[in-house]
Amino acid sequence: MGIGPIPRSKILDYGRGELELEGDELDLFVEIIREVDRQYTGMVNKFDRHEGKGETADIRDVAETKRVLGRLAARAAEAHRKDKAE
């Protein structure tokens, strides 16, 4: 089972309450959080056809958690190398 998006109401509550945003600032904050959330949920819910496993692991399964974190670290390092090359 994958994860779903952060409810818009929760993003608005946080932006208004904790950050005291309003108007255009609040709209921009919501857009940014929604995009980050889309990227994150897409990554987490991606099905890894090669290994037959998703990008999630039961936190009690140490070996599986290490595998997922290792894949995420490798992906981040590759993205960083690409950014530096550009």
User: Is residue 65 domain-shared with residue 85, that is, in the same domain?
Assistant: yes
Q: In this structure, are 28 and 52 located in the same domain?
A: no
Determine the structural domain holding residue 59 and report its residue range. Answer: 48-86
Residues 12 and 39 in one domain: yes
Do 35 and 60 share a domain, yes or no?
Answer: no
Phi-psi region at 67: left, alpha or beta (left = phi > 0; alpha = psi -120 to 50):
alpha
pTM of the model: 0.53
- The predicted structure's pLDDT at residue 63: 85
Whole-number pLDDT of residue 48: 43
Domains contained in the chain, number: 2
Q: Tens digit of pLDDT for each residue in 33-72?
A: 999 998 888 877 775 433 455 566 677 888 888 888 888 8
Whether residues 40 and 53 fall in one domain = no
